[in-house]
Amino acid sequence: MIPYGKQHIDQDDINAVVEVLNSDYLTQGPRVPQFEGKVAEYCNAKYAVAVNSATSALHIACLALGVGEGDIVWTSPNSFVASSNCALYCGAQVDFVDINPRNGNLCTSALEQKLKTANINNCLPKVIIPVHFSGQPCDMEAISKLANKYDIKIIEDASHAIGAEYQNNKVGSCQYSDICIFSFHPVKIITSAEGGIALTNNNALANVMKKLRSHGVTSDVKEFTESSHGPWYYQQQMLGFNYRMSDLHAAIGITQLSKLDDFVLKRNLQAKKYIDKLIDLPVTPLEVSDAVLSSYHLFIILIDKSCCVPKKHIVELLRKEGIFAHVHYIPIYKQPFYKKLGFSETYCDYAEQYYEQAITLPLYPQMTEEQQNKVIGSLKKVLNTTDSI
């Protein structure tokens, strides 16, 4: 099977892990702060807080921004469930802003309309979580203008988008957001096996997130609110978690980061090849703006409405051909858990339209020309098929 995505591990990643295993610290050693420094520098953000997953990063980002009971958080329905679950962890309510069905990102004019209505009804969100879907940055300048107007905070879910650029700045610079998070799950652009990070330019937010990732505890004398009992003293100041990243994971992250630009370049070249080769087929690649650099976490095609082979058959037939085509994403509100919260089956019109048409094709740096040719050939075959299965 040719997977839809896959990590790329070299000998230097393996050596980095072995080095940590032979060192004094497996966790809470020097690698985590090193990794944080390098990611912050790469993105031109002031602070970075590494954690054990992007899901944890989203949770502590919401908490740091004060999300709690009685609050509302908005995100995109076209995302992984973690983008909205984080609000529920905090006891808040979640709601979804419809997408642009041509690029899969949150739709700015839908956001504007929804904000106007929410303002009238006195139910504005505290935080908006735009998702840079498939690696293409959302229009953050427009989103932040709208958010500022209503005094709403922004967390970028950039799980797909490390290495991407918006207005010639790396995603993660937090120019238009309070916090930006990345995922280092193996299927994402770079990996630390499991892992995530939260970036911010706000020192207070960084400090709170650092405490929240480690039990709400600090050992920093300058932060103590009561006098120290002695050199062993530490203080719990809030209810935190154990969301720490280990040095083993951070070591992989460091070596992976040095390859990030190369990975993004390869992904862009593979995407370009798909776009060129699929031109005559009844499919339309997801729209990517010339004004941004996508990190191409995913390569997605939309099956034209005129195409006579149903999407389900296309995916089934591709899998029969040894190609693990996938679908990103099932709109979150369609999940049984979310329907129990009261969302209807077809809550967002454009997310529905997109979901009917979208298929993810394999794309990852180590995919060979031969493999990509096979995907293209199989897709051609499948789209011409009249067999039923």
- Does position 53 interact with ligand PLP (CB under 6 A)? The reply is yes
- Does position 185 interact with ligand PLP (CB under 6 A)? The reply is yes
H helices, E strands: number in the chain: 13, 15
- Under a CB-based contact definition with an 8 Å cutoff, are residues 158 and 105 in contact? no
Rank residues 74 and 80 by Cβ distance to ligand PLP and give the closer one: 80
The stretches of 150-237 forming alpha helices (DSSP H) are 203-212
3-class SS of residue 372: helix
Rank residues 80 and 299 by Cβ distance to ligand PLP and give the closer one: 80
Q: Residue 51: name the closest of 238, 214, 237 by CA.
A: 214
Out of 4, 35, 80, 354, point to the residue binding ligand PLP (CB under 6 A). 80
Q: Residue 346: name the closest of 328, 335, 359, 333 by CA.
A: 333
User: How many other C-beta atoms lie within 10 A of the C-beta of residue 85?
Assistant: 18
Out of 36, 98, 139, 157, point to the residue binding ligand PLP (CB under 6 A). 157
Alpha carbon distance 352, 78 (integer Å): 9
Alpha carbon distance 46, 5 (integer Å): 31
Catalytic residue among 126, 188, 210, 334: 188
- Under a CB-based contact definition with an 8 Å cutoff, are residues 363 and 2 in contact? no
- Both tokens of 60, joined, read 């502590």
Only one of the segments 7-15, 47-55, 366-374, 380-388 lies at the binding site for ligand PLP (rule: CB under 6 A); that segment is 47-55
Alpha carbon distance 229, 99 (integer Å): 54
Name the packing angle between helices 247-257 and 31-43 (round to 10°). Answer: 30
Strand order in the sheet with 165-166: 169-170, 165-166, 292-293
- Does position 183 interact with ligand PLP (CB under 6 A)? The reply is yes
Only one of the segments 76-84, 122-130, 168-176, 335-343 lies at the binding site for ligand PLP (rule: CB under 6 A); that segment is 76-84
Rank residues 77 and 101 by Cβ distance to ligand PLP and give the closer one: 77
Whole-number minimum distance, CB 75 to ligand PLP, in Å?
Answer: 9
Alpha carbon distance 43, 57 (integer Å): 17
Out of 7, 75, 78, 79, point to the residue binding ligand PLP (CB under 6 A). 79
Rank residues 31 and 160 by Cβ distance to ligand PLP and give the closer one: 160
Only one of the segments 26-34, 77-85, 299-307, 357-365 lies at the binding site for ligand PLP (rule: CB under 6 A); that segment is 77-85
Angstrom CA distances, 242 to 49, 215, 245, 323, 387, stand at: 13, 6, 9, 38, 53
Rank residues 79 and 108 by Cβ distance to ligand PLP and give the closer one: 79
Rank residues 4 and 382 by Cβ distance to ligand PLP and give the closer one: 4
Residues 120-149 that bind ligand PLP (CB under 6 A): 131
- Does position 196 interact with ligand PLP (CB under 6 A)? The reply is yes
Out of 2, 54, 92, 314, point to the residue binding ligand PLP (CB under 6 A). 54
Number of residues that bind ligand PLP (CB under 6 A): 14
User: How many other C-beta atoms lie within 10 A of the C-beta of residue 260?
Assistant: 17
- Does position 83 interact with ligand PLP (CB under 6 A)? The reply is yes
Is 259 a residue of the active site? no
Only one of the segments 134-142, 153-161, 260-268, 352-360 lies at the binding site for ligand PLP (rule: CB under 6 A); that segment is 153-161
- Under a CB-based contact definition with an 8 Å cutoff, are residues 65 and 205 in contact? yes
Only one of the segments 20-28, 80-88, 115-123, 316-324 lies at the binding site for ligand PLP (rule: CB under 6 A); that segment is 80-88
Out of 7, 55, 100, 105, point to the residue binding ligand PLP (CB under 6 A). 55
State the amino acid at position 311 in one-letter form.
Answer: K
- Both tokens of 89, joined, read 């962890």
Residues 272-301 that bind ligand PLP (CB under 6 A): none
Binding footprint of ligand PLP on the chain (CB under 6 A): 53-55, 79-80, 82-83, 131, 157, 159-160, 183, 185, 196
- Residues designated as active site: 188
